[in-house]
Amino acid sequence: MALNKTQMERLSKLSQSDLLDFIDMLQKNWWNLQNNYVLYINNTYGEEAAVKADSHCFTANARTQMHRLKKLFHLKDDLQSLMDAMILSTIWVNSDYDAWKVDDNKFRIRVHNCYQQIRRVQDGLGELPCKPAGFSICEEAAKVINQNAEVKCIVCPPDRHPVDVWCEWEFIMPQ
């Protein structure tokens, strides 16, 4: 376990609300690190290198997260387990998004506000063409839950996208 005795004792005294706030803060801290390393690589080595690094590091992280979530929550290899794992992961924490079932073997995640992209645009950097990284991340994560899972990108930069949709992904569980 990564928590030491002192941390466990302190965390065990927190209310449920404080624990949720703590989890929220940890997820924001993780994304702060991710955003800063991508920005550093972008500024030092260029956008292509930043996209490659993001794809490599974030894909490895997504794979690890899915294995841990699968073990922790005793997830199966079905659609609901994949949806639960995606929602509980940090993959989507840096955004406002909706997740919904399309039918018995598909669900979608649609990102309305991607804070990393919004910040890049505000800073004059333009949109990061994150589709290759996003596809790699989603596909790798899905395969941990079910080797037969498929991922389809509906839209993601560098694709042109509506103002209120940064990206949308469909997860398919063949029957």
67-105 residue pLDDT tens: 999 999 999 999 999 999 999 999 998 899 999 999 999
Mean pLDDT (the chain, rounded): 93
Mean pLDDT of 33-40: 88
Distance of CA 57 to the CA centre of its chain: 12
Beta bridge partners of 107: 101, 171
Q: 129 preceded by cis ω (within 30°)? A: no
Higher pLDDT, 44 or 174: 44
Q: How many CB atoms lie within 10 A of CB 75?
A: 19
Q: Is the pLDDT of residue 1 over 80?
A: no
